[in-house]
Amino acid sequence: MEKLLNKLLEKPWVVIALVVLISAGFFYVMKENSRMETDLDKYMPAEHPAFVYSDQAEEWFGINDGIIIALENKKGIYNSETLDTLKQLTKKFQKMDEIEKVDVTSLYTADNIIGTEDGMDVKAFFKRVPSSEEKIKELQENVQNNEMVFGRLVSENETVTVVIAEIRDSIFTQDFYNKILETAAAFETEDIKIYVAGRPIVEGTMALLGPADMKKMVPIVLLVITVVLLIMLRSIKSTVFTMLVVFFSVLWAFGLMALVNIPVYAVSTMIPVMLIAIGVADGVHLYSHLQLYVAENPNADKKEATLDMIKNMWKPVVMTSVTTSVGFVSLLTSEVYPIKYFGIFTAFGVLAAMLFSLTLIPAGIMIFGLPKMKKAKNENNNSGLAYRFAALVVKKKNISIIASALIIVLAIVGMQKIWINSSFLEKFEKDSEIVLTDKFINQNFGGTTSLNLILDSENLDAFKNPDVLKLVDKMQNKVENDLEIVGNSFSLTDYVNRMNKVMNADKEEFNVIPDSRELVAQYLLLYEMSGDPENLNKVVDYDYQKLNVTFQIKSDNSKAINSVIGIVESFEDDFKKLGISVKYAGSGYKGLVFTDLILEGQIMSLILSLFIVIILLSFMFKNFKIGLIGAVPIVITAAIGFGVMGFLNIPLNTTTALLSSIAIGIGIDYAVHFIEQYRVNARLTGDRILTAQKTMAHSGRAIIFNAIVVIAGFSILLFSVFPPNRELGALVSLNMFTSLVGTLTIMLVLLFTTNLYFTKNKK
């Protein structure tokens, strides 16, 4: 490796030309093929049993996510203007190519089941917009008397009504998203305000804000790190080439992503910030070593200085890059696609940064000469400070050991409080338009999140059995009454209850499931003859063996969905006695499974990355004890990160789940550089105290520079529009600080106390 790098020094222009040429190719591919993935179902593994079953259930019952368009008139909706707007808006959505006409529901399309002298009739609430007060009053009374509509399509305060347009994920595009918003806005008037919500809208908004956030963040992080590097390295040349390293690494990472046709997910927008913050580390260590060499050898020419830099630094640069990549590659254990691909392409970017650091930086020195390095006035003071600090750490070693033990115990307590959040809506600001819109609709209706309960029996006509329907009805009432977070539920029982009531002179005491199986079957037959039988396809299959119960929930986070499932599970034994199995489907349930996959992936990633890092360190330094010692700071760092998350109630999600891999991937850099320098100094000095002091003055200095740059880079995430990104930025910055402190204290104490390298020297 060293010989190859030395040969490349002879043709520096070729090196630069080759890098620029390949980068141009990646840029072209990225420009042509990059795409943003907005379908949240595509975040999840399609082959997972829970998702396979959910997809089947969605086909059985036509379960699709709905776009909810709410019309608010504070004067009330029962007037010609509002009702006409509702009708026109409904018809507008019905005519859209992307939406099936039967999948648009509103007061204009809803069926009203009523009793007649001849039996039962099913008809529309209105076809022509009522103009007279008498007709409007009649419509209002019909809605109020129909519990299947009142509170579901019309708010209880009668100032809001909704149009629900169900769409398939496959047809939702950015253009369609814009068309929906434009259509809704076109119908707004002075009195009528229109709100648009629903999961597809969340997806569309994320697709808009994700790239916009990246465009905003990248220039800021470039500017901040450039300024920090100028201050640290005190050289324009050094700063420029270090920044070129990260620029090309980001370009290659996204270029490869586009080349293999992997989409950009919301979390992928953080890759540039990651690579910019991480990629400068190699440059900082290379130039830091160069500065020290030139200071000790003022007469050395550029080739001698560059050869020395390569000779002494290529191994730690390669080792740190490999171990950092391992931290990110360990994310492959996750079944969540955004996390998995984030790990792969960030690892590739890190290795690309290593390649550029070992080629571009030496080539730049050979072409443009050694950077002008002004000797800092306090450089001797800094070295003296490093010597004194190292001596103090090894003298007071018990303090580091006790403090580390106490911190780990406290962190374990905090980790018990960690929870997982599947909510996509909570990725946005609480005062953002999409969150406020969702809140408004949840206040007036059942909820924007759905959980589908699928009841399955092997017996034909199982769900015409009154005992079964009564149990389903009892379960629905239990969930609605016990959980404020549940707005309402809907199933075949609502049809049967309604039909029993209207067939008994609209008496409320008959709003129940009848005791007779024959009567239930007769009601259903009457409905099929009088109304639209396709409506029943949403709640029951043709053979009445499968039933779909939909719960509307006012939050999409995992706590809310789990609370519903908890009550449903208390009925499982009763259903089992009737020969009925209980399963779940729909986007709400998928989100819950999503959280479990995040947790499983996080645990596996943490264990795997720690194991591989220990093995790699042991192999690199030819000593298993060194592997264990090197892992101590990152174990403490990871524990602190998760402990803080627990104490501050920060949940695990697709973004914060990256924390441990980032902490291990970046934090291990410090350990590798410090151990390598400690080993070299131990061989040269043979004195334990002097070895600790020289290592602190050399690698300790570079590690501090590196930490400052990384913390500055990740701090830029605090300006993200997504709260989880801000949380990750703060947590990673904290982790880098604790990793720095751990490396310079407890790890130094362990190296000093174990006496590994000096025992070997004596032998």
Q: Higher confidence at residue 569 or residue 340?
A: 569
- Residue 410 makes CB contacts below 8 A (sequence gap 6+) with 643
pLDDT of residue 540: 93
Overall pTM > 0.85: no
What are the structural domain ranges in the chain? Answer: 1-33+214-375, 49-203, 376-416+623-763, 438-590
CA distance to 72, 94, 158, 529, 651, per residue, from 82 (Å): 9, 18, 12, 32, 42
Element (H, E) at 193: strand 193-197
User: What integer is the mean pLDDT of 266-278?
Assistant: 78
Of 127-136, 171-180, 260-269, minimum mean pLDDT range: 171-180
Return the structure tokens found at 405: 């033990």
Is 60 exceeded by the pLDDT of residue 638? yes
Is 60 exceeded by the pLDDT of residue 376? no
Is 90 exceeded by the pLDDT of residue 497? yes
pLDDT of residue 555: 85
DSSP state of 317: H
User: What integer is the mean pLDDT of 325-346?
Assistant: 84
Is 60 exceeded by the pLDDT of residue 22? yes
At 109-150, the pLDDT tens digits run 998 888 877 778 888 898 999 989 999 999 999 999 998 899
Contact at 8 Å (CB) between 660 and 739? no
Is 80 exceeded by the pLDDT of residue 151? yes
Is 80 exceeded by the pLDDT of residue 654? no
Nearest to 310, CA basis, from 694, 673, 3, 678:
3
**DSSP per position, 625-672:** HHHHHHHHHHHHHHHHHHHHHHHTTPPB-TTGGGHHHHHHHHHHHHHH
User: What integer is the mean pLDDT of 732-748?
Assistant: 89
Is 60 exceeded by the pLDDT of residue 290? yes
**What is the percent of the chain where pLDDT is above 70?**
95
Q: What does the alpha-carbon distance between residue 533 and residue 546 come to, in Å, rounded to a whole number?
A: 16
Return the structure tokens found at 580: 């009925």
Contact at 8 Å (CB) between 704 and 343? no
Q: Determine the straight-line distance between the first and last CA of the chain, rounded to whole angstroms.
A: 31
Is 50 exceeded by the pLDDT of residue 377? no
pLDDT of residue 551: 93
Q: What does the alpha-carbon distance between residue 441 and residue 459 come to, in Å, rounded to a whole number?
A: 39
Of 210-224, 452-466, 503-517, 728-742, minimum mean pLDDT range: 210-224
User: What integer is the mean pLDDT of 139-164?
Assistant: 91
Q: Mean pLDDT of all residues in the chain? A: 85
Same CATH fold assignment for domains 1-33+214-375 and 376-416+623-763:
yes
Is 70 exceeded by the pLDDT of residue 455? yes
Is 70 exceeded by the pLDDT of residue 170? no
* Class of domain 1-33+214-375 (CATH, top level): mainly alpha
At 43-96, the pLDDT tens digits run 777 788 888 888 889 888 888 888 889 999 999 999 999 999 999 999 999 988
**What is the percent of the chain where pLDDT is above 90?**
27
pLDDT of residue 249: 93
pLDDT band at 39 (very low <50, low <70, confident <90, very high): low
Q: What does the alpha-carbon distance between residue 382 and residue 402 come to, in Å, rounded to a whole number?
A: 28
Is 50 exceeded by the pLDDT of residue 761? no
- For 124, the 3-state DSSP assignment is strand
Domain spanning 376-416+623-763, CATH architecture: Up-down Bundle (1.20)
Is 90 exceeded by the pLDDT of residue 700? no
pLDDT of residue 312: 85
- Residue 128 makes CB contacts below 8 A (sequence gap 6+) with none
**DSSP per position, 506-568:** T-GGG-S--S-HHHHHHHHHHHHHHS-GGGGGGTB-TTS-EEEEEEEES--SHHHHHHHHHHH
CB count within 10 Å of CB 395 equals 11
At 389-446, the pLDDT tens digits run 888 988 888 998 999 999 999 999 998 888 777 677 777 888 888 888 888 888 888 8
CB count within 10 Å of CB 481 equals 10
Work out the angle between the directed axes of helices 337-368 and 586-621 (0-180°, nearest 10).
Answer: 40
pLDDT of residue 383: 62
At 510-550, the pLDDT tens digits run 899 999 999 999 999 888 887 677 788 889 998 999 999 99
pLDDT of residue 169: 61
For residue 582, give the amino acid letter: V
Most trustworthy range by pLDDT among 209-213, 428-432, 630-634: 630-634
At 568-624, the pLDDT tens digits run 999 999 999 999 999 999 888 887 887 777 777 777 777 888 888 888 888 888 888
pLDDT of residue 762: 44
User: What integer is the mean pLDDT of 228-232?
Assistant: 83
